[in-house]
Structure 1
């Protein structure tokens, strides 16, 4: 039955391959998005922007909250909780 199903599903091979590639791209993007070191670098850059006067306090607070939420989500993902 395994060989028969493979033959019948052969026309779907490009779709299955594309889905696998898409899954890999999404997984890598999530790893980068939730990478704690990258988030901490973004927090440091944000603080430098505030100190340089490039952004105001309200923008800083809003972006800092978003980054801290991502950092918390990253830690939650790592612990599996």
Structure 2
């Protein structure tokens, strides 16, 4: 079944859907690893905590995840990272 889908002629609508899905995935990956986006998300997280919308128990794990993602974006993926 997979082979049949992958060998469809290039002008079939299904191939267009695959192309759009790949482009959306590429954009999501760029945003996921963009230091500017990560800094903005960290700022929102800090603001929510400072405004009292988030407890310290919610804030700390979120902040750690954001710092980990920011660090990974700056140094690049680990050699065995298969994403």
Query: TM-score scaled to structure 1, two decimals?
Result: 0.69
Stretches of structure 1 that go unaligned for 5 or more consecutive residues are 1-7
For these two proteins, the number of residue pairs brought into alignment is: 72
Query: TM-score scaled to structure 2, two decimals?
Result: 0.68
- State the partner residue of 1:14: 13
- Distance of 1:9 and 1:50 partners within structure 2: 51
Mapping 1:1-81, distance limit 5 Å: 9-10=8-9, 13-75=12-74, 76-77=76-77
In proportion to residue count, which structure has more helix?
A: 1
Stretches of structure 2 that go unaligned for 5 or more consecutive residues are 1-6
| RMSD, matched Cα | 2.5
**Shift of residue 9 of structure 1?**
4.6
